Amino acid sequence: MGQHVLLVTRAAHFAAERHVHQRRKGEHAEPYFNHVSEVAALLAEATDGKEPELIAAGYLHDTIEDQNVTHAELEERFGREVSDLVLEVTDDKSLEKQERKRLQIVHAAHLSHYAKMLKLADKCANLRALLTSPPPDWSAQRRGEYFDWARDVVEGCRRVNVKLEAEFDRLYARRGEATGGQP
């Protein structure tokens, strides 16, 4: 138990430090840490707090992609399971954005069980963000396209956790609120 509290607390603190100057793209420009803590909280609730490595990976999931943290550093600090999980949900930034988005759909079904849960929680948090604090420069069409792309990624991540899947479907059902009713 003590080791689990340490792992999760260290992961949260490390994420807070690394994302300190990063903000979300939404109209409220929330601190980026709010997003990763939301993902970690979704994972904790979905697993009744029983999967500390998964919760730690929730806090850390954007550190390689956005803050140039390496897999080796995460492995040294948090162990192989957590670092591998973060790497699994990290896009290859040498590719074009359009290609990265296509590959997320293709790769989703081949992810590990925990990585699928992490993807699901991340997409839940992003749909919530589009409903409550969308990027001000995104058109209704772009918000709708994001909802549909997230749904396509999540298709490959189903049957791993009932709570996360149900939350995603509840949020996707609110697509019309995010697009002002546009298709």
Residues that bind ligand NDP in the complex, under the rule CB under 6 A: 24-26, 35, 62, 97-98, 101, 122, 126, 129-130, 133-135, 139, 141-142, 145-146
66 is catalytic: yes
CA-CA distance, 35 to 62, in Å (whole number)?
A: 10
Candidates 27, 30, 51, 66; catalytic one: 66
Which of the ranges 42-50, 59-67, 157-165, 168-176 carries the binding residues for Zn ion, by CB under 5 A?
59-67
If DSSP codes are grouped into helix, strand and coil, which group holds residue 144? helix
* CA distance to 30, 56, 148, per residue, from 140 (Å): 21, 34, 12
**Nearest to 129, CA basis, from 27, 4, 59:** 27
Residue 76 known to be catalytic? no
Residue with tokens 């049957």: 159
- Minimum distance of ligand NDP from residue 97's CB (angstroms): 4
Question: Tokens standing for 147?
Answer: 């909802």
CB of 80 to ligand NDP, least distance (A): 23
Place of tokens 């899947």: 165
Considering only residues 122, 134, 146, 171, which one is a binding residue for Zn ion as defined by CB under 5 A?
Answer: 122
Q: Catalytic residue numbers?
A: 65-66
Q: Interface residues with Zn ion (CB under 5 A)?
A: 62, 122
